[in-house]
């Protein structure tokens, strides 16, 4: 792996093409059980351009009342589906912690969507890393420091790439500037899927 910022490790091509195809198919089935929803900004209710779902015991949701983790889908009320085994294995191999992942957020980026610079601070546990896997179209990913005004660096996240965000990077500002159209043939529709696996609560 390459360290693109302190604590931010990039594995280019971590998942091979057949692994990506199998995971994409598994997610297609999973999203029938836990459909993508449109999260909204706290207070204002402004919709995100990115659509989301989750798998695993907990899922991240956002609505007019705030950001939170919860055990069920905000629209269907059903428990989130189980985390696919390949994701649990990826965590075991890359995360370097004995704690199991509790949440996997599934972000869907249609062409033209983006995610502004932000910090991930809704978890109770910052000691464990976050693991990200990318599928489909290439994204321009930007990462900075723990202050919004710190300098940033950007890389292109390609289908199959993995990122580990640990240590000093765990609370770094980051975002997705753009999706590069027609950059991958993996998915049946244009766009990108990002999976982020997290520990939400401390052990015990």
CA 148/CA 136 separation, integer angstroms: 29
CB of 98 to ligand MD3, least distance (A): 20
Pattern 142-161, ligand MD3, x by CB under 6 A: -x------------------
The DSSP symbol for 133 reads E
Q: Taking contact as CB under 6 A, which single stretch among the options 38-46, 71-79, 90-98, 171-179 is the one that binds ligand MD3?
A: 171-179
- Give 19-36 as a DSSP string: HHHHHHHHHHHHHHHS--
Q: Taking contact as CB under 5 A, which single stretch among the options 13-21, 59-67, 82-90, 114-122 is the one that binds Fe ion?
A: 114-122
Contact residues for 94 (Cβ-Cβ < 8 A; gap 6+): 11, 14, 131, 162, 164
SS3 56: coil
CA 200/CA 198 separation, integer angstroms: 6
Judge residue 137's burial from the number of C-beta atoms within 10 Å of its C-beta, 0-12 exposed, 13-18 middle, 19 or more buried: buried
CB of 8 to ligand MD3, least distance (A): 7
Q: Which is nearer to ligand MD3, 81 or 105 (CB)?
A: 105
CB of 176 to ligand MD3, least distance (A): 5
Rule CB under 6 A: say whether 163 interacts with ligand MD3: yes
By a kind-dependent CB cut-off of 5 to 8 A, residue 159 interacts, out of ligand MD3, Fe ion, none, with none
Q: Taking contact as CB under 6 A, which single stretch among the options 18-26, 28-36, 39-47, 168-176 is the one that binds ligand MD3?
A: 168-176
Beta-sheet pairing, 66-70 with 153-157:
unpaired
């Amino acid at each position: 792996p390459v360290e693109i910022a302190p604590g931010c490790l990039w594995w280019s091509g971590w998942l091979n093409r057949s692994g990506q195809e199998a995971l994409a198919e598994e997610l297609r089935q999973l999203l029938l059980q836990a459909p993508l929803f449109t999260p909204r900004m706290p207070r204002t209710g402004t919709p995100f351009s990115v659509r989301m779902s989750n798998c695993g015991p907990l899922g991240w949701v956002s609505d007019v009342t705030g950001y939170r983790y919860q055990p069920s889908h905000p629209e269907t009320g059903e428990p989130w589906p189980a985390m696919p085994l390949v994701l649990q294995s990826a965590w075991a191999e890359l995360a370097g912690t004995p704690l199991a992942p509790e949440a996997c957020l599934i972000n869907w980026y249609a062409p033209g969507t983006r995610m502004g610079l932000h910090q991930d601070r809704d978890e109770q546990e910052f000691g464990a890393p976050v693991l990200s896997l990318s599928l489909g179209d290439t994204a321009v990913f930007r990462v900075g420091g723990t202050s919004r005004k710190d300098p940033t660096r950007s890389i292109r996240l390609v289908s199959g790439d993995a990122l580990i965000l640990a240590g000093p990077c765990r609370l770094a500002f980051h975002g997705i500037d753009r999706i590069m159209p027609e950059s991958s043939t993996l998915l049946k529709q244009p766009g990108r899927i990002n999976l982020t696996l997290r520990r939400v609560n401390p052990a015990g």
